[in-house]
Amino acid sequence: MIRVVIADDEPPARQQVREFLGVETDIAIVAECESGVDAANQIRLLQPDLLLMDIRMPGMSGIEVLRTVGTTRLPYTIFITAYAQYAVEAFAVEALDYLVKPLQQSRFHAAVSRARRFLERDASLSRRADLPTVEQYIAELEKNVTRLDRVAVKIGRSTHLLQQASIVFVEADGDYVSIHTQDGRQARARESIAAIEARLHCGYFARVHRSLIVNMRCVKELRSNKRGGYVLVMSDGSRLSCSAMYQGNIAAFLETWSAGAG
């Protein structure tokens, strides 16, 4: 049996993967994970054969999961995501696949079949030397992430390329978003907060309110409030409220960073 771990923070997405795998007679789902931190822990504990994982998850991206596990015997990984800009078109090797939501059943099963072929070969032979190492695998993926170190924002008739590291927080403002940067400037762009969230580095930015995204690297202090959420004190002096609905995103970041510090 092929032992599979599913990692996606959205329950409907995990359900669809379960349904697609349900027709595979040699698949055993050994764990489902809602965050990158949980996925890394389950990989270490269960050592699955195949990992079906979203790239954008609370606290730790799929790429960061691979780096954190830190083993040369990672499971074969199929990334599943709604964000096509992460596609690794140049990384055309049979050891991995990349599926964009909404999933197509035929495409999904082709990816699983590809992983199955390698697993069958591994059962009788050591993994071929010409397959990519984990380090090569991660490096190639990171090439695509580093292209996102700037985010294109249309302001008026111009398109501005903002360094993501310079962004402190993004706030919804009607049909616009206000982007606050470290130098105290504020850019106002006509787009939804969901649209800009999809282009921000998932390893550093977190949605902390339905109308607010923060750069977690710019958080200096977290203070609990009486409503079960947090007040975030930012590097520019701003004090932002994190609603109780989104406090799981904050907790996931804290858990990730605490684990990294240890």
Convert the pLDDT of each residue in 110-130 to its tens digit. 889 888 888 887 776 555 444
Q: How confident is the model at residue 8 (pLDDT cuts 50, 70, 90)?
A: very high
pLDDT per position as a tens digit, 24-51:
889 999 999 999 999 999 998 999 999 9
Mean pLDDT of 167-181: 92
- Cα 141 to its chain centre, rounded Å, is 12
Q: Which domains does the chain have, with CATH numbers?
A: 2-147 (3.40.50.2300), 156-261 (2.40.50.1020)
Residue 175 pLDDT level (bands cut at 50, 70, 90): confident
Quickly state the pLDDT bin for 146 (edges 50, 70, 90): very low
Tokens, residue 98: 């990349």
What's the confidence (pLDDT) of residue 50?
94
Q: Distance between CA atoms of 240 and 2, rounded to whole angstroms? A: 46
Please, what's the b/e burial string for 96-127 (b: 16 or more CB within 10 A of its CB; e: otherwise)? bbbbbeebeeeebeebbebbbebbeeeeeeee
Per-residue pLDDT reduced to its tens digit, 56-110: 888 788 878 887 886 556 788 888 877 655 444 323 333 357 777 778 888 899 8
